[in-house]
Structure 1
Amino acid sequence: MGVSFDLFGTLVTADRPADPAAAVATELAERDVVVPDDWADAYAEAHVDAPDGAEVPLPAHVSRALASRGVDYERNAARRAVVAAFDPTVETRPGAVEAVDAARERGPVAICSNCSVPELVGRTLVRSEFERDDFDAIVTSVGCGWRKPAPEIFELTADELGVAPADLVHVGDDPRADGGIEAIGGTALLLEDCPLEDVPARLASPNDHSSHE
């Protein structure tokens, strides 16, 4: 059996900009990028024609938004601005460390996280109570190109852990996104039904993983 955990909202809380477009605009200006007068509109528009379920990295979105307004900028400025705009204060959620420790007693453990910002998962872990070595694999949507609930991200997570999709238990807080594991035969443990503090006991009962009684 393998266990994967959602990161944001499940293992940690991490603040994010109240107005992402404005936060990115501030960081672009810091890098001498001309911010269009209608930046809020440009940021809100879709600029990349991605398949259903695919992740669009936020730097790519920002680059296309700037290009749509005819703005030229130094290479990598968009990426650096995005990374700086999403620089979180992180708190490890109560029960998170114990849940991961319990999962490690059952088999390999992964993080399976939706995140469109490069480097954010790594920086979040550094600021949490976890170590990188606590996880056998870290799968992110920005890294693999697919967002939960797309089956591809769960299949990749199972593959990284060396288990069959049906043998993967995924712990998360979002019924729609994290519940997507069930489409490939895996098991969802959703925090609305199974709080983090209860995860160790649920993992210790191999025949009682389903969050849907």
Structure 2
Amino acid sequence: MGVSFDLFGTLVSVDRPTDPTEAVARELERRGVAVPDDWADAYAETHIDAPEGAEVPLPAHVAHALRSRGVDLEGTENAARRAVVAAFDPEVRTRDGALEALDAAREHGPVAICSNCSVPELVGRTLVRADFGRDDVDAIVTSVGCGWRKPAPQIFELTATRLGVSTAELVHVGDDPRTDGGVERVGGTAVILEETPLLEVPNRLTTLTEADDER
């Protein structure tokens, strides 16, 4: 068995910008980028035609939104990425039961983080500030890294591959039934926090292991 955990809302809580559009605009201006007057409209529009379930990195979306309004990014090509990363730089709180759940998961097999995140570097910055880190898991799979968002099957298939288990052997723990429950589409098992609180996850993993042993 391999166990993957959603990150945001499951293992950690983070403070997100109350107005992401304005937060990104502010960081763009700090980097010398002229933000158009109708930035809110530009930010809200779809600029990249991506397949269903695909992740569009937020810096790419921001760059396309600026260009759609005639903003020349020559000489500031990396400004969109830096602005997005700064706008979403997180305050991190490790949730009660997270460390115990991770410890319990490692007793049953390899462990991964499988997280939806359109902001480059956000997962890494979060792990630096959490009470656990990269060394506490065997793999980190993000939507911005692999190109697919949960509940797309591809992200769960990649997570299973990284852990060296089949998708049927993958148990995914998360807080969102719609996205995290997608693991069941590839034959895995979802443990959703509204049904199994984080503090009860260790017992749930033991129950799943015992059930596998009896088969």
Partner of 2:135: 133
> 1:34: which partner in 2?
34
Q: Who is 1:24 aligned against?
A: 24
Deviation by residue 1:105-141 (Cα, 9 ceiling, x = unmatched): 0000000000000000000000000021101000000
Q: Which amino acid aligns with 1:22?
A: E
State how far apart, in whole Å, the 1-side matches of 2:35 and 2:149 are: 29
The separation in 2 between residues aligned to 1:144 and 1:157, in whole angstroms, is 10
**Once the two structures are aligned, what percentage of the paired residues are identical?**
75
Q: Which runs of 5+ in 1 are unaligned?
A: none
In 2, the alpha carbon distance for the partners of 1:131 and 1:96 equals: 12
Do the aligned residues in 2 keep the contact of 1:7 with 1:111 (CA within 8 Å)?
yes
Measure the CA separation in 2 of the matches of 1:56 and 1:41.
Answer: 18
Residue 75 of structure 1, CA deviation: 1.3
- Residue by residue over 1:162-191, the C-alpha shift from the partner in whole angstroms, topping out at 9 and shown as x without a partner, is 000000000000000000000000000000
Partner of 2:159: 157
Letter in 2 for 1:176: R
The TM-score with structure 1 as length reference comes to 0.97
Alpha-carbon separation, structure 2, partners of 1:147 and 1:164: 19
Aligned to 1:4, what secondary structure does the other structure show? strand
Report SS of the residue matched to 2:64.
helix
Q: Residue 120 of structure 1 aligns with which residue?
A: 122
Determine if contact 1:168/1:187 at 8 Å carries over to the other structure: yes
**How far apart are 1:208 and its partner, in Å?**
5.5
State the superposition RMSD in angstroms. Answer: 0.9
CA distance in 2, matches of 1:184, 1:203: 19
Q: Secondary structure at the match of 1:112?
A: strand
The answer to whether the Cα contact below 8 Å between 1:3 and 1:107 also exists between their aligned partners in 2 is: yes
TM value normalised by structure 2: 0.96
Aligned length: 209
Deviation at 1:207, TM superposition (A): 4.9
Contact 1:88 1:124 in 2 (8 A): yes
Equivalent of residue 86 in structure 1, options 80, 85, 88: 88
Which residue number corresponds to residue 178 of structure 1?
A: 180
Task: Find the counterpart in structure 1 of residue 52 from structure 2.
Answer: 52
Mapped partners of 1:86, 1:208: distance in 2: 41
